[in-house]
Chain A
Amino acid sequence: MRFMVMVRSTPDIEAGVLPTTEELTAMGEFNERLAKAGLLLEGEGLHPSSKGARIRFDGENRRVIDGPFAETKELIAGYWIVKMQSKEEAIEWFRQAPCFNNGGTLEIRQIFEAEDFGENITPELREQEARLRIGGLGT
């Protein structure tokens, strides 16, 4: 299952304070461990909310609100997308994530998957036939 692990923002991040070299190194090492375990799908950092915008939907009306936004602790400063076997595994991994600014919160959320392997199992021969008829070995 895939998880999105979100880094909640801090006043420093919102103020545009960039991570230190040590912090970047620690983050790089952590990401490399995740990658070498074959678990990391994506990971990105986000600019402060002052560079962002919100669109409010109210019936037919659309209202655009430019950042920054006040509720710092509710904002997202970055995220990982990881593939884990369970929520427990995700928790175990991210307990070891480097900590920024002596604090902060990570939020782990499971991603909905379109595929549902359980009900989609096909007998091998039929599968081979399907593959052949459409002419793709790698299909």
Chain B
Amino acid sequence: MGDFERRLDTIWRIESPRLIAALARVTRDLALAEDIAQDAFVAALDRWRDGGVPENPGAWLMTIAKRRAIDRFRREDTLRAKTGELQRSTAHSISIESEIEMLDQDVGDDMLRLMFIACHPLLSREARVALTLRLVAGLTTAEIARAFLTSEPTIAQRIVRAKRMLAEARIPFELPSQAERMGRLSTVMEVIYLVFNEGYSATTGADVVRPALCEDALRLGRALTHLAPESGEVHALVALMELQSSRSAARAQTDGTPVLLADQDRSRWNRSSIRRGLSELERAHERGSLGPYGLQAAIAAVHARAATFEQTDWHGIAALYDALAEMMPTPVVRLNRAVAVGMAFGPEAALPLIDELEDEGALREYHLLPAVRADALERMMRYSEAALAFERAATLAKNERDRMFLHRRAAFCRNR
């Protein structure tokens, strides 16, 4: 790829989301919007190769896109008029054309509208993620495929199908009403957090593509804080992602072996991520009581503020988990809460919470439930019970490293 092509790639990445967002507003058709944007880009490429890239490529692209949109619209009209299908009144045609004329006027909410559409509840989670990364974050199909360890045709098809589905359902392109807004924002947040976790818990060796997803998610999240600044949870989501990624450099050894929080070298935590995370959390606080993302961010913030593991405010963390478990009583949250309670008030307080989960049969296949129980029993010096629980955890463990680790702890308890 030459310098010129590289530069165009960069310009596409910067300009395409805005271009597609504006085109979607006037065409009310994502596929068509993307088509016209690409058309405009191809036209620009031809002209810029000889004439050079103009000082304001975005405005330039917008002008070409506008012309293309009007051309297409007129061509379709002529076609329909010929076949006698045209039912549009002249007045209607004029109103569409004047809407297209307004293409380059930033009506402000174009990007937000595009996010809402890409994350429409009608679509599957996978489709929302692919569409958001493609249209809002400006990633190529190839980049998305690499990040999700799948083939390019798979992602391309997923995107095509999603766009078709949205077109067939004739979903409205207007911004959702105030009453609906919070619900729709949470589908956008869910997609962003999914992308983040996909990158954060990447399972493949030295692949740097997947962690780049963390950066994409953060970029989308930061954008959303400016597009929907009124929502505390959006700020909280960014806080949570900043605080989690602040530990990236400390959370694994060079060979990929994870380092537990207790053993992490806190000097390797990224202070600027922490600072940004804490100030986003503050903004979330200013906007009212914390929601699920806010509480998780607040928990991460307690860790971030502790100079050493020993200085961690476990009482604070346990209280935050109490609130989180009330709001989101999933077994995993409740198990986390049990661990926090154990750290704050001792294993005796944690054990009943763990037993409750076991009695319900929740997380039956999850090795961490017996592992957490074993840990509590060990601390209470009930060694033979602890050994049994560790053994059970070992049989449930999904990989060899975990299994060996749990067997070792079982053996240690048996020998006490």
Interface residues in chain A, defined as those with a beta carbon under 8 Å from any beta carbon in chain B: 32, 35-41, 83, 85-86, 88-89, 92-93, 95-96, 113-139
Output the least CB separation between A43 and chain B (Å).
Answer: 13
Q: Give the residues from 361 to 375 in chain B that come closer than 8 angstroms, CB to CB, to chain A.
A: 368, 371-372, 375
Chain B residue nearest to A95 (CB atoms) is B55
Q: How far is the CA of A118 from the CA of B207 in the complex (A)?
A: 6
Since A88-B10, A89-B14, A138-B297 are in contact, a sample of 10 more A-B pairs with Cβ atoms closer than 8 Å, ordered by chain A residue number, is A37-B17, A115-B270, A117-B248, A125-B399, A126-B257, A127-B201, A129-B258, A130-B258, A135-B342, A139-B244
Q: How far is the CA of A36 from the CA of B224 in the complex (A)?
A: 7
Indicate whether B67 reaches chain A with its CB closer than 8 angstroms.
Answer: no
Indicate whether B220 reaches chain A with its CB closer than 8 angstroms.
Answer: yes
A138/B299 contact (C-beta < 8 A), A83-B219, A88-B6 known: yes
A139 / chain B contacts, CB cutoff of 8 Å: 244, 247, 261, 299-300, 303
Output the least CB separation between B205 and chain A (Å).
Answer: 7
Q: How far is the CA of A122 from the CA of B208 in the complex (A)?
A: 12
Interface residues in chain B, defined as those with a beta carbon under 8 Å from any beta carbon in chain A: 6-7, 10-11, 13-14, 17, 55-56, 58, 111, 200-208, 210-212, 214-215, 218-224, 226-227, 240, 243-245, 247-249, 251-252, 254, 256-262, 268, 270, 272, 276, 296-297, 299-300, 303, 314, 317, 321, 324, 332-333, 335-336, 339-340, 342-343, 368, 371-372, 375, 397-399, 401-402
Q: How far is the CA of A116 from the CA of B211 in the complex (A)?
A: 10
Q: How far is the CA of A138 from the CA of B300 in the complex (A)?
A: 5
Chain B contact residues: over half helix, strand or loop, or mixed?
A: helix
A115/B258 contact (C-beta < 8 A), A85-B13, A123-B203, A138-B240 known: no
A137 / chain B contacts, CB cutoff of 8 Å: 296, 299, 321, 324, 332-333, 336
B206 / chain A contacts, CB cutoff of 8 Å: 118-119, 121
Q: How far is the CA of A114 from the CA of B111 in the complex (A)?
A: 32
B256 / chain A contacts, CB cutoff of 8 Å: 119-123
In the complex, the answer to whether A132 meets B254 with C-beta atoms within 8 Å is no
In the complex, the answer to whether A89 meets B202 with C-beta atoms within 8 Å is no
